[in-house]
Structure 1
Amino acid sequence: MRVLYLRCGDASPPAPAGVETHTLDDVPSRRALRFLDEATTQILPEDPTPSLDEIAARPDVAHLGTPGPAPQAPHLPERLRVIVAGTDAALSAVLTRLMRADHLWAEVGFVPSSSDSTAARNWGLPTSGEAALELAMTGTVRPVPLIRTDAGVAVAGSATITDWETPEITGEIIVDDDVLVRHEGAGGVVGARLVPMLDAPGIVAGRTVLPPAGWRERITTWPVLRRFSRGQARTPKVDPDTLFTGRAVQAGGPALGVTVDGVRHPRALERVTFYRHLRDLQVVRP
């Protein structure tokens, strides 16, 4: 097995001796990640499995069920494991590069640089650098859905949809066929927060609100959503009574702010869609 260790930022632990290491910025650029294309092409010069267009043209939707092993696995002369050490934003950048090149057959390990990582909590990873690195190096792959935007950005841990300027959103947010938000800038609705699931259908999303003073965090079966619930009174919190699961989240409004893993889209959007990609992530996790 070939292992690539991507050390994103100064806080990442050093790689074990003999492991191919690439030292990158906190959030690596597309140009800085070009070596991933070279590594994947060396192992699999031509992909003999159906393309994304061919999969999308099929009348069935088997590829949207329980996440499964990469179809390229039987054709690989050697396994490739890409270990990302850094933030959720760094992991998102790497997943985006692999997704756009259609190289999601590569195994992905993650060493979070902070205990505040939503991706690490969602995947059940250790937050200790040494323990996380040990798991990433020696653990087994358990596939999960890959959630992306219609602009081709992969979601590693979480994403939010808000208004571009004002505290409360004006717009509509729909999870599959369920209306999560329909709001016109009054009443305390901030927007929505979504995280990838470990199984089908792929996304869990909840409405974010400005709660009244004295509001207390409620227990939810989706603890990864509670990160947005911590803080002082009148800070945005996920309403646990508004959780929906689905394959896609669509939002529209005059000026939406869209943030993926802490990185905000550089301009206001009138619409955005998050949806499950046709390929699954091959994640190393417990």
Structure 2
Amino acid sequence: MRGIVLACGNSQSPMITDGDRFEVRRVAERPGKAEVDAVLADSGDKRLVVHGTDADLNAVVLRLLRTERLADVPIGFVPADPRSEVARLWGLPTDQGRALDLALSGDPDRVPLVRDDVGGVLVGLGSLGPVRGVGYGDDTVVLRGQASRLEVTPDPEGGPGLVVHVIHKRLFGKKVTSTAARAFQLGCLPVQVNLDGVAHPRPMGKWTWYRHTEDLRLIRGVQ
């Protein structure tokens, strides 16, 4: 199947050039409305492949959400960074050749899309901390007091939508408590929130992540 590869920022690979199976569109890192929407308008039935960072994928998925294209645009991911949390979470190849083959030939799976209450999305890892406050995973108290760090990801195990990891560092090692939920709500002393590797512009005293009603069609199935 033909696809359009969005080469984001400085993401470069000698194998990712225009070919029979795909065309390459070079865009800025974390591309915005004008760039992504122009590609979506031309995409037709082509799949969309993001070559870049988790933050780049986040920016493209946000435009799919805003333009109501989640249901009809399969999206593949070729990580520019082998440490990609998205790749780790969903078992995607970090070798760029294998990742590109999968993105162009694999089957799309429906995976949870996580949103926040300030208009953003989360495709890999959200984190904050150190934190002091009260947090709920649905109706369950997952934090009362302080923690070294909180991490939230989409749920890769078919649960209600997301997983909250509460991390307490100890003198030797750390204690991690994990809770699956559809939504996570936190009220706390102002804390820095990080979304797919990008810091939110200002410290926040409350934050919510929740599963969107529509899933993301992420290409990660067998070729």
TM normalised by structure 1 equals: 0.71
| Other-structure match for 1:123 | 90
Aligned positions of 1:212-251 closer than 5 A: 212=171, 214-215=172-173, 239-240=175-176, 242-251=177-186
Contact 2:2–2:104, Cα closer than 8 Å, also in 1: no
Q: 1:16 to 1:37 in 2, by over 3 A?
A: closer
- Letter in structure 2 aligned against 1:111: V
2:149 match: 191
The reply on whether 1:259 has 2:180 as its aligned counterpart is no
**Cα deviation, residue 267, structure 1:** 1.0
> Pairwise CA RMSD of aligned residues?
1.8
- For the residue of structure 2 that corresponds to 1:278, the secondary structure is coil
What does residue 25 of structure 2 align with? Answer: 22
Report percent identity of matched pairs: 34
Query: Compared with structure 1, are the counterparts of its residues 200 and 80 closer, same or farther at alpha carbon in structure 2 (3 Å cutoff)?
Result: farther
Structure holding more helix per residue: 1
Bigger CA radius of gyration: 1
Name the structure where strand makes up a greater proportion of residues. 2
- Separation of aligned partners in 1, 2:148 and 2:107: 39
Report the Cα offset of residue 28 of structure 1: 1.8
Residues 1:108 and 2:75 aligned together: yes
Q: Provide the residue aligned with 1:210 in structure 2.
A: 169
* Offset at residue 2 of structure 1 (A): 5.0
Q: Give the superposition deviation at 1:275.
A: 0.4
Secondary structure at the aligned position of 1:133 is classed as helix
Match of 2:132 in 1: 170
Output the CA distance in 2 between the equivalents of 1:22 and 1:209. 43
Contiguous gaps of at least 5 residues in structure 2: none
Secondary structure (helix, strand or coil) at the match of 2:108 reads: coil
Which stretches of structure 1, 4 residues or longer, exceed 4 Å deviation after superposition? none
Task: Report deviation, 1:35.
Answer: 1.1
Contact 2:7–2:25 (8 Å) recurs in 1: yes
Q: Amino acid of the residue matched to residue 191 of structure 1?
A: R
Aligned mates of 1:150, 1:210 — CA distance in 2: 28
Aligned length: 216
TM-score (norm. length: structure 2): 0.89
Q: Alpha-carbon deviations, 1:86-139, whole Å to 9, x = none?
A: 111111111111111111021000001121011011111111000000000111
